[in-house]
Structure 1
Amino acid sequence: MKGTAVANGTVTIYNNGNVLGTAKVDDKGNWSFTPEPALKDGTYNITANATNTVGQVSDKTGIFDFTVDTTPPGAVENLLISDNEGAYQGPLKDGDTTDDSTPTFSGKAEAGSTVSVYNDGNLLGTAKVGSDGNWSFTPSSPLPDGDYKFTTTVTDKAGNTGDATPVVNITVDTSGVEVRLDKLVDNVGDITGDITPNGVTDDTRPEIVGTGKPGSIIKIYDGATLLGSTTVNADKSWSFTPTTDLGQRQPQHYRDGTDRTCPATPRSNLGICVHYRHRGTNSTNY
């Protein structure tokens, strides 16, 4: 606490009428006072008066009120990172991949405080918490594709900062999803090897081979029937072998160039429908 008073006098400082301490005024009329011991958390109503060198006492000053708060706020509660782009829109969890380069962060925190959003310790931005405890933050610029380690902290009006939330690992990937069904392989009987388009095989569980985006989940259908799924390898390759025998049938030929079981997608020469999902994005091709 600092102020001015009669030179060489003494200033007495009060809280709610109770003496906190005194300070000596220098010959230029300046004084300062630091409470000892330190003030406890709470609300204070400070006044002061001055006594000159002959013992005359001034009137008290007006009240200077403030609150001491040394308690850090709690961490963000119910932290939600939301994908708002593409086929999948909704909450993201630790380890997910999103095609949304400006995901929305939201949650609950101490009213009137400020939430800071970080990536690996680097500040992305801040959000003011409303009187209802709600806050929301969306990056003003798109996040480049890559891996992110998101955390948040809360800073209250007094400047106390609480603990960070646990790291949420999210990958931003806005590149397109690709999938190819390259071949079916016969591994049974006298004739083995690649099956020609619209060909015939005695292998009721042929290996289905293709390429796609690493980490994508490939779903393989026979017509509208899901045969199963597999994950694309790091080298872009994938393969799938049915776990049950495929039924016998004649090859199907469509003059309109579309597969009636997979609308709005080009017909595969192999007659197999592939649905693929890349952790946060969905599409259908085959």
Structure 2
Amino acid sequence: PTPPTAPAPPTAPNPAHETLQFTIDTTLREPTIVLDPTHDTGDDTNDNLTRINKPVFIIGNVDNDVSHIVVHIDGRDYTIENTGGNLAFTPDQPLSDGQHTISVTVTDIAGNTKTSAELQIEIDTQVQIDSVTLTTDSGVNDHDNVTNATRPSFEIATPDDVTSVLVSFDGVNWTPISKNAAGQWEFTAGSALP
């Protein structure tokens, strides 16, 4: 007789292996944004006051893996490219006179996002002279701008942010003047006028 046979064991599955390399990235530096010092005009080049209405801003602390950069100016967004290092940005439209709030947001390839501290700047493209007064006005009417003084004196009133005033009698030769004890710009002709 034929001996009994056991069924063949099931074929074991062939194991499969796959290796996945991945990176965990949770770090991102906070970017900075400042007014380009060469565009901070006036006597103080660190006061964020400028007469340039399309100023240049410098963006720093941008990591190499940043893939998205957005500059925010008063709620309007400008997207710029990460070209590495410190980045320069100029708005495409002039900014109006007055205060403006600027910040920058960066996002890296891992999806981390950081926003800079807000930068407050002021655009001031206008200057005005409030009044010019002949202080040596003589005669019956002392407000008619008629004087017998051959070296007349004047007071010039300006807004508080005016830091220098030049005067001229001929439109060619300009002389800087200073403020008097009352805080008014004051000028007396250096020689007798014809």
Structure 1 length normalisation: TM-score? 0.46
Aligned match of 2:4? none
More strand per residue: 1 or 2? Answer: 1
Q: Distance in 2 between matches of 1:141 and 1:90?
A: 16
Query: Where does the alignment leave 5 or more consecutive residues of structure 1 unmatched?
Result: 1-53, 84-88, 231-237, 253-286
Query: Where does the alignment leave 5 or more consecutive residues of structure 2 unmatched?
Result: 1-10
Q: For 2:51, which of 93, 98, 102 is the aligned residue?
A: 98
Q: Distance in 2 between matches of 1:75 and 1:66?
A: 24
Size of the alignment, in residue pairs? Answer: 172
Aligned match of 2:156? 209
Q: Distance in 1 between matches of 2:190 and 2:91?
A: 54
Matched, 1:148 2:100: yes
Aligned match of 1:170? 121
Matched, 1:115 2:69: yes
Q: For 1:125, which of 68, 72, 78 is the aligned residue?
A: 78
Structure 2 length normalisation: TM-score? 0.62
Percent identity over the alignment?
22
Aligned-residue offset at 1:139: 2.1
Alignment of 1:1-286 (within 5 A): 56-61=13-18, 63-71=19-27, 73-77=28-32, 79-82=33-36, 90-91=39-40, 93-100=46-53, 102-108=54-60, 109-113=62-66, 114-120=68-74, 122-130=75-83, 132-165=84-117, 167-174=118-125, 177-179=127-129, 182-186=132-136, 193-194=142-143, 196=145, 199-200=148-149, 206-210=153-157, 215-221=161-167, 225-228=175-178, 239-241=184-186, 246=188, 249-252=191-194
Q: Over residues 23-71 of structure 1, what are the superposed CA-to-partner deviations in whole Å (9 max), with x where a residue is unaligned?
A: xxxxxxxxxxxxxxxxxxxxxxxxxxxxxxx97353223x443321112
Q: Distance in 2 between matches of 1:190 and 1:227?
A: 27
Aligned AA (1:127): I
Does structure 2 retain, via aligned residues, the 8 Å contact 1:147–1:170? yes
The alignment yields a C-alpha RMSD, in angstroms, of: 4.1
Aligned-residue offset at 1:145: 3.9
